[in-house]
């Protein structure tokens, strides 16, 4: 209802302005005989709506009047046109005061500066939209005023959206998860806190409780709100109010001992404004109720303009200079420069009647005389296009009508003053360096300096306590029918015991505060309960936490927050095993069958290659075929013991032997080590070697009923559901494994390691086979973003460090009936892939030696058997091949001797042929000479 009356008052204000303007225009036209309006009027009236009974209203009025005076005295702007500021007091006391202020206003205005509150800005914006008059405000910081709904609203300060982003970054930096928001329940407070909630959500934080204060609240009302907050667990409190109410909140909190150690108080910039303006009246009393509070203050770079205005300010008032004074001063200059540009481009001031209002029903408010500012859009565009340097730094608007470069100082109130602990800007976020020196950075090595918190402590508050409302935590625990060593109800009582219970109670005992709780069983007592459904009951509000053997898996983490794992877990395969450390053929187990075959083949191949390389030059590798075969095999296998007696005559033979002896050395050493391990350590074996071999067969697989194992085997590993057999008790595990897949049992059981280790502690005929194929842990589940989960996690780490966690494990889970055994023989057997590289190198050396030998032999054959080659023939005929093989089989010395003998015979024939040729030549010459004689 107050909003409607306010609208009527605003309309009255504009009616008076328009009627006066019309009369003034008519009078001037009659005097000058010219109906046209000058392009640069002598006086431009500017309306202003402030709340003068507040400290912000007082300093804003001084800043506005100082700016108007400086603009009017500056000949470089507006060129003779003077600004006239008409200030009206909204009085903050209700409708009647506002009405009196507006009804007294009967002058024209091309723009309105104000109002001081976002509530009035929402109301007046509807009117200025209709009449197209720009509305400039340096105090209405509600982010929703920037929406497209208010095109003529121009904010000349920074929106609360940036303040809320800064507060969210502070909360996130200190790793708090919940805050309590105290705010005035109006447009300013509600919309600001909504933006804070959105910013906190990006940090995985939330507002755990909203505490609105009535706009007309008294101190008793504020005290009642704070008493409710004191009963809650969150100790991080954000205060977003007006200055008067904010000081009452801090004073009431001080009286209720809510400014003691453990609390965190963060305020928006209203507190820094109060400190800047009036803190020096009585510093001791003033600061006593706000020790350790963190507040924000708009960051304004120190500049000559700012220093000059600060000097002028001291001569105008005894009040302190605040950022609102600077923004008020710059707002007038912003409007003056926009008007100057407006007139430079031929703009003029004129009004016209609203064409949508054709009736004459105006009543005592004279609504039918409303006029629209014809050039309002043009002036608005000039305002948004201004770029200048003011006392607050560069003044320029972004595309969404926000001032550029929003930045804040982070202030810690301490003693009779404050200390700056850092800065926040939209580009660099939290930092200890000036915002202008960190362009486009998202983090800083040290975001904030040390803060002195309430209670005069440097230690960061935890940010929450267990609520003092007397309620106990409802903790759900699974009602097991098997593996009761983990969780079990004590008969005849409502108490529980077991490994998981002891870990939880020990962790709670380490907390620095008391946590009352009570266990509630979940399950029918006949079947193990579904742990995933139990965790889901936390988000449903049934339980406050879940304690038990709860594995931390993906779908459960989407329902709740888990603590630090207190024991490692993962899925393993258990199967029947048999002893392997005795038997007739135990010596064959170190190598797989494939490795045995390849090794034996290499013995034969290397012996054959050595025989080829040595046959033509080494007498030890010659003789009858039977003898050569025996010699070759003996040589090859005797290298296994390095007892070969044959000497290598060729370089290629030595190369092959060296490589082979390296292979033999490594193979024999590995065999010896593996056989020793098998006969002394590895004692069990199973046809199932792990999850891979289990997937490759079609035998049934057992799993614990109602566990996540079934879904994992089906969804992740693709095992058919028809193969899965649910088992309940450890006795069921034992019977199914003993029966085997052929007698209605299972080939193996897949379950979590802690269960299997407990199962195997008294059943030595089974063992874990293969490796663990998932890795997770067990933890306690709490609601999302629960601070108790963080503290319990820290306590679990302490239990691990001091050895208490291991003691609890030994108490409940250690058994001595069976020693630690494992069926790892199949996995630990040496396989061919372990020696592939070695065999490859040896084989490559053999091939290279054989290739070189073949080339040399062919060359010798061509050199020592030239009479057997036919150049016109491209391939050897069978007869030639047989001759070549005979050549290769022949000893090299015999070939050389035969060749030498052939050369000598060739020289003898050549010498004889030469002698005959010389004798015959002499005879021929004689005959010629005789015949030529006349």
Any domain includes 751: yes
pLDDT for residue 364: 45
Any domain includes 620: yes
The percent of residues above 70 in pLDDT, for the chain, comes to 78
pLDDT tens, 69-122? 999 999 899 888 999 998 888 776 445 334 533 443 345 678 889 888 888 888
Confidence class for position 456, pLDDT limits 50, 70, 90: very high
What is the C-alpha separation between 821 and 797, in angstroms, rounded?
A: 30
Any domain includes 316: no
> Which residues are CB-neighbours of 485 under 8 A, at least 6 positions away?
498, 499, 758, 812, 813
For position 744, which CATH number holds? 3.40.190.10
How big is the chain, counted in residues?
Answer: 934
- Is residue 384 located within the same domain as residue 253? no
Last residue of a domain, one of 377, 400, 423: 400
pLDDT for residue 563: 95
- Is residue 804 located within the same domain as residue 671? no
- Is residue 288 located within the same domain as residue 391? no
Handedness of CA 504, 509, 515, 518 (dihedral sign): positive
pLDDT tens, 471-499? 789 999 998 878 889 999 998 888 999 99
pLDDT for residue 295: 97
Question: Is residue 655 scored above 60 in pLDDT?
Answer: yes
Q: Lowest mean pLDDT of 17-21, 550-554, 766-770, 827-831, name the range.
A: 17-21
3-state secondary structure of 317: coil
Any domain includes 854: no
- Render the burial of 604-630: b for 16+ CB within 10 Å, e for the rest: eebbbbbbbbbbbebeebbeeeeeeee
- Is residue 374 located within the same domain as residue 497? no
Any domain includes 240: yes
pLDDT tens, 250-279? 999 999 999 999 999 999 999 999 999 875
Question: Is residue 767 scored above 50 in pLDDT?
Answer: yes
φ, ψ of residue 702 to 5 degrees: the values are -90, 150
- Is residue 270 located within the same domain as residue 410? yes
DSSP readout, 343-364? HHTT----EEE-TT------GG
- Is residue 283 located within the same domain as residue 175? yes
For position 190, which CATH number holds? 3.40.50.2300
For position 671, which CATH number holds? 1.10.287
pLDDT for residue 914: 58
Last residue of a domain, one of 775, 793, 827: 775
3-state secondary structure of 162: helix
The percent of residues above 90 in pLDDT, for the chain, comes to 42
DSSP E strand boundaries for 539-605: 545-546, 561-562, 567-569, 571-576, 578-579
pLDDT tens, 737-765? 999 998 999 999 999 999 998 888 888 88
Confidence class for position 601, pLDDT limits 50, 70, 90: confident
φ, ψ of residue 248 to 5 degrees: the values are -65, -35
Any domain includes 58: yes
Question: Is residue 706 scored above 80 in pLDDT?
Answer: yes
- Is residue 797 located within the same domain as residue 784? yes
Mean pLDDT, rounded, of the chain: 81
- Is residue 605 located within the same domain as residue 704? no
φ, ψ of residue 348 to 5 degrees: the values are -140, 160
- Is residue 416 located within the same domain as residue 278? yes
Confidence class for position 439, pLDDT limits 50, 70, 90: low
- Is residue 286 located within the same domain as residue 181? yes
Any domain includes 410: yes
Number of neighbouring beta carbons within 10 Å of residue 569: 22
Helix (H) or strand (E) holding 295: strand 294-298
What is the C-alpha separation between 587 and 910, in angstroms, rounded?
A: 71
Q: Lowest mean pLDDT of 195-209, 406-420, 688-702, 919-933, name the range.
A: 919-933
Confidence class for position 13, pLDDT limits 50, 70, 90: very low
φ, ψ of residue 741 to 5 degrees: the values are -65, -25
Any domain includes 907: no
What is the C-alpha separation between 151 and 161, in angstroms, rounded?
A: 18
Specify the number of domains making up the chain. Answer: 5
Do residues 184 and 241 make contact, with C-beta atoms less than 8 angstroms apart?
A: yes
**Of 615 and 763, the one with more pLDDT:** 763
Across the range 675-697, mean pLDDT stands at 75
Q: How far is CA 773 from CA 569, 593, 930, in A?
A: 10, 27, 115
Confidence class for position 469, pLDDT limits 50, 70, 90: low
What range does the domain containing 488 cover?
Answer: 473-568+778-813
- Is residue 512 located within the same domain as residue 488? yes
Q: Lowest mean pLDDT of 419-423, 695-699, 929-933, name the range.
A: 929-933
- Is residue 291 located within the same domain as residue 414? yes
């Amino acid at each position: 209802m107050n909003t409607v009356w306010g609208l009527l008052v605003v309309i009255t204000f504009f009616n008076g302005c328009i009627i006066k303007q019309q009369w003034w225009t008519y009078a001037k036209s009659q005097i000058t005989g010219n109906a046209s309006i000058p392009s640069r009027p002598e006086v431009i009236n500017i309306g202003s709506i402030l709340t003068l009974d507040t400290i912000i209203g007082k300093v804003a009025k001084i800043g506005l009047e100082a700016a108007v005076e400086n603009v009017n005295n500056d000949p470089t702007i507006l060129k003779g046109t003077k600004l006239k500021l008409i200030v009206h007091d909204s009085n903050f006391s209700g409708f009647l005061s506002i009405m009196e202020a507006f009804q007294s206003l009967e002058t024209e205005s091309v723009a309105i500066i104000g109002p001081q509150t976002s509530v009035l800005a929402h109301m007046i914006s509807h009117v200025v939209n209709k009449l197209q008059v720009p509305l400039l405000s340096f105090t209405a910081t509600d982010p929703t005023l920037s929406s497209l709904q208010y095109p003529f609203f121009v904010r000349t300060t920074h929106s609360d959206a940036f303040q809320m982003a800064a507060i969210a970054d502070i909360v996130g930096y200190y790793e708090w998860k919940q805050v309590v928001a105290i705010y005035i329940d109006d447009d300013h407070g509600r919309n600001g806190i909504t933006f804070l909630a959105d910013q906190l959500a990006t940090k995985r934080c939330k507002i755990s409780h909203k505490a609105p204060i009535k706009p007309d609240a008294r101190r008793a009302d504020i005290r009642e709100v704070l008493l409710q907050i004191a009963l809650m667990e969150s100790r991080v409190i954000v205060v977003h109010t007006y200055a008067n109410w904010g000081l009452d909140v801090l004073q009431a909190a001080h009286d209720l001992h809510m400014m003691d150690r453990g609390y965190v108080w963060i305020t928006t910039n209203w507190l820094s404004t109060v400190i800047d303006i009036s803190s020096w009246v009585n510093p001791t009393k003033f600061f006593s109720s706000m020790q350790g509070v963190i507040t924000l203050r708009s960051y304004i770079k120190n500049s000559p303009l700012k220093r000059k205005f600060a000097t002028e300010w001291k001569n105008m008032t005894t009040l302190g200079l605040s950022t609102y004074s600077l923004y008020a001063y710059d707002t007038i200059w912003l409007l003056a420069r926009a008007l100057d540009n407006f007139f430079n481009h031929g703009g003029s001031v004129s009004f016209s009647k609203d064409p949508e209002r054709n009736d004459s029903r105006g009543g005592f408010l004279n609504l039918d005389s409303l006029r629209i500012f014809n050039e309002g859009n043009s002036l608005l565009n000039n305002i948004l296009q201004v770029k200048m340097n003011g006392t607050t730094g560069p003044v320029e608007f972004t595309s969404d009508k926000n001032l550029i470069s929003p930045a804040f100082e982070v202030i810690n109130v301490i003693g009779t003053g404050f200390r700056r602990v850092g800065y926040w800007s939209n580009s660099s976020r939290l930092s200890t360096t000036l915002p202008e020196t960190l362009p486009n950075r998202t983090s800083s090595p040290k975001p904030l300096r040390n803060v002195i918190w309430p209670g005069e402590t440097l230690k960061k508050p935890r940010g929450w306590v267990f609520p003092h409302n007397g309620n106990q935590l409802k903790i759900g625990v699974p009602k097991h029918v098997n593996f009761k060593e983990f969780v079990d109800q004590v008969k005849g009582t409502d108490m529980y015991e077991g490994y998981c219970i002891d870990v939880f109670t020990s962790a709670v005992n380490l907390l620095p505060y008391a946590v009352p709780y009570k266990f509630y069983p979940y399950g029918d007592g006949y079947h193990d309960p579904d742990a995933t459904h139990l965790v889901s009951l936390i988000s449903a509000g049934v339980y406050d936490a879940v304690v038990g053997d709860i594995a931390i898996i993906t779908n459960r983490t989407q329902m709740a927050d888990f603590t630090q794992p207190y024991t490692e877990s993962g899925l393993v395969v258990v199967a029947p095993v048999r002893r392997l450390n005795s038997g007739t053929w135990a010596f064959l187990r170190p190598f797989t069958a494939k490795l045995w075959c390849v090794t034996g083949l290499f013995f034969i191949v290397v012996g054959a290659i050595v025989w080829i390389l040595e046959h033509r030059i080494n007498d030890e590798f010659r003789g009858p075929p039977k003898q050569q075969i025996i010699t070759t095999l003996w040589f090859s296998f005797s290298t296994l013991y390095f007892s070969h007696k044959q000497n290598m005559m060729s370089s290629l033979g030595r190369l092959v032997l060296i490589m082979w002896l390296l292979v033999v050395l490594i193979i024999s050493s590995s065999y010896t080590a593996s056989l020793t391990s098998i006969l002394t350590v590895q004692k069990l074996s199973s046809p199932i070697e792990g999850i891979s071999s289990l997937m490759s067969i079609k035998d049934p697989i057992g799993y614990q009923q109602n566990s996540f194992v079934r879904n994992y085997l089906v969804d992740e590993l693709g095992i058919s559901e028809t193969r899965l057999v649910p088992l309940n008790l450890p006795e069921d595990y034992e019977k199914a494994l003993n029966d085997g897949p052929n007698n209605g049992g299972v080939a193996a059981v897949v379950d979590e390691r802690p269960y299997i280790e407990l199962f195997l502690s008294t059943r030595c005929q089974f063992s874990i086979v293969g490796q663990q194929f998932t890795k997770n842990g067990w933890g306690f589940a709490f609601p999302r973003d629960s601070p108790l989960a963080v503290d319990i996690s820290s306590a679990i780490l302490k239990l691990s460090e001091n050895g208490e966690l291991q003691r609890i494990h030994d108490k409940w889970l250690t058994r001595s009936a069976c020693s630690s055994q494992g069926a790892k023989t199949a996995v630990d057997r040496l396989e061919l892939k372990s020696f592939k590289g070695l065999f490859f190198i040896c084989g490559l050396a053999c091939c290279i030696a054989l290739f070189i030998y073949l080339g040399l032999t062919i060359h010798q054959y061509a050199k020592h058997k030239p009479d057997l080659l036919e150049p016109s023939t491209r391939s050897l005929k069978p007869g030639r091949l047989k001759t070549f093989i005979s050549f290769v089989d022949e000893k090299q010395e015999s070939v050389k001797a035969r060749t030498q003998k052939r050369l000598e015979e060739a020289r003898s024939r050549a010498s004889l042929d030469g002698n005959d040729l010389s004798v015959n030549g002499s005879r021929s010459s004689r005959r010629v000479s005789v015949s030529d004689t006349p």
